[in-house]
Amino acid sequence: MELPEAVHFGQNDLPFVDIGDGSKLKVLQLRIGEGMWIIENIFQAGYEVETHQHTGPVYGYTTSGAWKYREYDYVNRAGSFLYEPAGSKHTLQCIEDDTRVWFQMYGSNINLDAQGNISSVVDGPMTLAFYYAMCEEQGLPRPNVLVG
């Protein structure tokens, strides 16, 4: 019986794309059947992700910088681990330049407007399509994201 092999990506094997204000996104993996998607971001101070609610759990690990949720007092800094249960609702705000965060998400993000109405829904396949489009727009080769 042949055993499956581990998959390795070096630091520069998958490019970051600019998503505005100097902040960046990299998609690492998408498991369609599991509804799982893993991304890495580099945020600049002042970058804000619109208020959103998760349909599945989210795991976040901060490797540099600092960010928080408008709705909470704690600050995520290098070495911080964050668990967000399905149904949690918050607004991500970056408070230091070059804040680097890795997120493993399940399900979708339901984005909400100021009145709490659904403004959009984002999931792993949509994020991967956006990532590929941004790579093309920014003149980067199509990355070999781990998709299964």
Dump pLDDT digits (tens) for 21-71: 899 999 999 999 999 999 999 999 999 999 999 999 999 999 999 999 999
The pLDDT assigned to 5 comes to 87
Using one digit for the tens of pLDDT, what is the confidence trace for 116-135?
999 999 999 999 999 999 99
Greatest extent of the chain over all pairs of C-alpha atoms, in Å: 56
Tokens of 135: 């790579």
Are the beta carbons of 76 and 82 closer than 8 angstroms? yes
Residues 62-83, mean pLDDT to the nearest whole number: 97
Predicted structure pTM score? 0.93
CATH fit for domain 17-118, picks 3.30.2310.20, 2.60.120.10, 3.30.420.10, 3.40.50.2300: 2.60.120.10
DSSP SS3 for 42: strand
